Amino acid sequence: MTETLLLAQDALLPARNQMAISLGAHIILACFGVAMPAMLFVLHQMGVKGDSDALELAKRWSKISGVLFAIGAVSGTILAFEMGLLWPGLMEQFGDVVGLAFTLEGISFFLEAIFLGIYVYGWGRLPTKTHQFLLVPMIISGMSGTFFIMSVNSWMNAPTGFEIVNGQVVNIDPWAAIFNDAVALQYLHMLFAAYMVAAFTMVSVYSVGWLRGKRDRIHRLGILVPLAFAAIVTPIQPIVGHFAGQAIADRQPIKLAAIEGLSMTESEVPIILGGFYDGTEVVNGIEVPIPGLGSFLAQNSFDAEIIGLNDVPAEDQPPVNIVRFSFQIMVGIGTGLALLVTYAGFRWFRHRNTFLDNTWMLRAFALTGVGSIVAMETGWITTEVGRQPWVVHNVLRTEDAVTNGGWVWFTLIGLTIVYIGMFTAGYGVLRSMSKRWAAGETDLESPYGPARIHELVG
Residues that bind ligand HDD (CB under 6 A): 157, 182, 186, 189-190, 193, 196, 237-238, 241-242, 244-245, 248, 330-331, 333-335, 337, 372, 375-376, 379-380, 382-383, 386
Rounded to the nearest whole angstrom, what is the least distance from the CB of residue 363 to ligand HEM in the complex? 28
- Taking CB within 5 to 8 Å according to partner kind, which of ligand HEM, other proteins, ligand HDD, none is near residue 145? ligand HEM
Applying CB under 8 A, what is the total number of residues that bind other proteins?
Answer: 86
Give, in order, the Cα–Cα distances in Å from 55 to each of 12, 118, 123, 353: 50, 17, 10, 22
- Which uninterrupted H or E stretch holds 247? helix 236-251
Rounded to the nearest whole angstrom, what is the least distance from the CB of residue 178 to ligand HEM in the complex? 12
- Which uninterrupted H or E stretch holds 218? helix 217-233
Segment lying near ligand HEM (by CB under 6 A), choices 13-21, 123-131, 297-305, 422-430: 13-21
Q: According to CB under 8 A, which one of 37, 89, 209, 292 is a site residue for other proteins?
A: 89
- Which uninterrupted H or E stretch holds 189? helix 183-211
- Our CA angle for 108, 110, 113, nearest 5°, is 110
- Distance of alpha carbon 449 from alpha carbon 160, whole angstroms: 55
Segment lying near ligand HEM (by CB under 6 A), choices 148-156, 367-375, 418-426, 444-452: 148-156
- Taking CB within 5 to 8 Å according to partner kind, which of ligand HDD, ligand HEM, other proteins, none is near residue 447? other proteins
Task: Note whether 255 and 248 are within 8 A (CB).
Answer: yes
Q: According to CB under 6 A, which one of 91, 113, 293, 422 is a site residue for ligand HEM?
A: 113
HSE (side-chain half, CA atoms, 13 Å) at 24: 22
Task: Note whether 235 and 195 are within 8 A (CB).
Answer: no
Task: Note whether 203 and 237 are within 8 A (CB).
Answer: no
Rounded to the nearest whole angstrom, what is the least distance from the CB of residue 295 to other proteins in the complex? 41
- Residue 164 interacts with ligand HEM (CB under 6 A): yes or no: no
- Distance of alpha carbon 218 from alpha carbon 1, whole angstroms: 64
Site string for ligand HEM, 70-99 (x = CB under 6 A): --xx--xx-xx--x---x--x---------
- Based on CB atoms, which residue is closest to other proteins, 24 or 122? 122
Segment lying near other proteins (by CB under 8 A), choices 225-233, 248-256, 373-381, 449-457: 449-457
Return the number of other C-beta atoms located less than 10 Å from residue 360's C-beta.
Answer: 7
Task: Note whether 18 and 415 are within 8 A (CB).
Answer: yes
- Distance of alpha carbon 215 from alpha carbon 209, whole angstroms: 8
**Considering just the CA atoms, what is the radius of gyration of the chain in Å?**
24
Point out which residues bind ligand HEM (CB under 6 A).
16, 19-20, 23-24, 26-27, 29-30, 33-34, 69, 72-73, 76-77, 79-80, 83, 87, 90, 109, 112-113, 142, 145-146, 149-150, 152-153, 190, 194, 380-381, 384-385, 387-388, 391, 398
